[in-house]
């Protein structure tokens, strides 16, 4: 009996040790790769924040989903995990992504399995290559990955190295995304509406004034956005220049925020541009139906009074884009957002 008691005590001690280790290992910002399942999970104190994924069903890697510190998911589920009441338009809008609608006349933005076979040769894909490093820490974690932009003619035109910095704040979570593009051939980002850093938000963050309609891409392809029940839609855009609501679309600013409410929770998503980025300050491709994007390269198509930008990277040259996305579990005010923009401007030069 005594031996049994000793064994039970030892087992209990081992279980406590294992549990303590598991709790300790889950604390802080953890960045854990699972290449067999094509994902890297990012958690904060054991709770989901986001996951870097490159599923075969998508034409680019994305961060999906994005979850606030109050465990509120701010990204749409479709096309990866559709939720009741969601819009099912734009199947290429998944999570948070980075690509463009016209690079050397190939469309990387609109590509999905929904593209008709006869049109696929003019599309492009961003193909995951490898994980360069992961790093976990108390308040920040880091992921560095490589991918390649490949045209519909199977020609690689850009190598992309992306450094993600995941951090926790007081009642907020942040993602810094530093993208280095190296041209494998001369690459022209022709002035286009579809770009560059984009995310598709949850239904409750859509505009209550959104009525749907037919939206044309730069190549004249129509995408119908059905009118939806906007009873629970509460999202309101605000830019650094004071432009509010649907008027924010195609205007410029160093930041744009989107604030909405679900249940007893208030969330603000803010995207910050950086003064060292090409095309600063960016145009906001911010739509009431839930597309929230920063597009610094589509100048004349968003503002016909401006000349075309046609940003070009010569062969073997590089360009760097830096963005910060913050999820605040509150209605973040203008002063706070301006301070964040000031801080971001000094951190990445």
Tens digit of each residue's pLDDT (9 = 90 or more) over 236-279: 999 999 999 999 999 999 999 999 999 999 999 999 999 999 99
Q: Could you say which DSSP state residue 123 is in?
A: B
CA–CA dist 306, 311 (Å, integer)? 14
Name the CATH topology of 30-347.
Beta-galactosidase; Chain A, domain 5 (2.70.98)
Give the span between the Cα atoms of 75 and 236, in whole angstroms: 15
pLDDT computed for residue 223 by the predictor: 74
Cα separation, 343 vs 346, in Å, equals: 5
Segment holding 181, helix H or strand E: strand 172-183
Which DSSP category does 249 fall into? T
| Cβ neighbours, 10 Å, residue 176 | 21
Which residues make beta-bridge pairs with 156? 150
Closest-CA residue to 109 (of 58, 144, 177): 58
Q: Which positions ≥6 away from 150 have C-beta within 8 Å? A: 124, 125, 126, 127, 156, 157
Please work out, in degrees rounded to the nearest 5, the angle formed at the alpha carbon of residue 182 by the alpha carbons of 161 and 101. Answer: 85
Nearest to 147, CA basis, from 58, 242, 47: 58
Which residue ranges make up each domain of the chain?
30-347
Name which of 119, 105, 110, 131 is nearest 59 in CA terms.
110
Q: Report the predicted TM-score, pTM, of the whole model to 2 decimal places.
A: 0.90
Mapped onto helix, strand or coil, the DSSP state of residue 73 is strand
Positions of the chain with pLDDT lower than 70, given as ranges: 1-25, 212-221, 224, 226-227, 349
Q: How confident is the model at residue 134, as a pLDDT?
A: 98
Would you state the pLDDT for residue 121?
97
Side-by-side strand order, sheet with 47-53 = 29-34, 39-44, 47-53, 62-63, 96-100, 195-200, 291-295, 283-286
Instruction: Name residues whose C-beta falls within 8 Å of residue 75's C-beta, 6 or more positions apart in sequence.
Output: 64, 65, 66, 95, 96, 199, 200, 201, 202
Dihedrals phi, psi of 330, to nearest 5 degrees:
-175, 175
- What's the DSSP call for residue 327? E
Cα–Cα distance measured from residue 102 to residue 109, given in angstroms and rounded to the nearest whole number: 8
Residue 231: what pLDDT? Answer: 84
DSSP string, 195-245: EEEEEEB-GGGS-TT---EEEE-TTS-EEEE-----TT---EEEETTS-BG
283, HSE (Cβ side, Cα atoms, 13 Å): 23
């Amino acid at each position: 009996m005594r031996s049994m008691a000793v064994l039970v005590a030892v087992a209990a001690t081992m279980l406590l040790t294992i549990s303590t280790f598991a709790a300790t290992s889950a604390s802080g910002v953890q960045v854990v790769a699972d290449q067999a399942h094509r994902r890297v999970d990012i958690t904060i104190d054991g709770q989901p924040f986001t996951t870097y994924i490159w599923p075969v069903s998508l034409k680019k890697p994305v961060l999906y989903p994005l979850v606030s510190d109050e465990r509120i998911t701010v990204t749409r589920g479709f096309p990866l995990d559709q939720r009741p009441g969601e819009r099912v338009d734009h199947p290429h809008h998944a999570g948070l992504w980075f690509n463009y609608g016209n690079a050397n006349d190939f469309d990387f933005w609109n590509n999905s399995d929904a593209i008709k076979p006869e049109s696929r040769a003019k599309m492009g894909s961003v193909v995951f290559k490898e994980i360069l490093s992961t790093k976990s820490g108390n308040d920040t974690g880091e992921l560095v990955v490589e991918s390649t932009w490949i045209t519909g003619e199977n020609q690689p035109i850009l190598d992309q190295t992306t450094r993600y910095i995941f951090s926790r704040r007081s009642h907020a979570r942040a993602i810094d995304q530093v993208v280095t593009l190296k041209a494998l051939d001369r690459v022209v980002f022709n002035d286009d509406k579809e770009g560059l850093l984009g995310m598709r938000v949850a239904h409750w963050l859509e505009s209550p004034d959104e009525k749907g309609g037919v939206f044309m891409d730069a190549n004249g392809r129509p995408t119908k956005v059905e009118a939806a029940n906007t009873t629970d839609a509460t999202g309101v855009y605000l830019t650094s220049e004071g432009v509010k609501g649907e008027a924010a679309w195609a205007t410029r600013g160093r930041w744009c925020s989107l604030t909405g409410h679900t249940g007893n929770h208030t969330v603000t998503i803010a995207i910050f541009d950086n003064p060292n980025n090409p095309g600063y300050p960016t145009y906001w491709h911010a739509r009431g139906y839930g597309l929230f994007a920063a597009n610094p390269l589509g100048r004349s198509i968003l503002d016909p009074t401006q000349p075309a930008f046609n940003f070009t990277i010569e062969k073997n040259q590089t360009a760097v884009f830096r963005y910060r996305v913050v999820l605040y579990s509150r209605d973040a005010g203008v002063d706070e957002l301006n301070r964040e923009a000031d801080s971001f401007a000094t951190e990445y030069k």
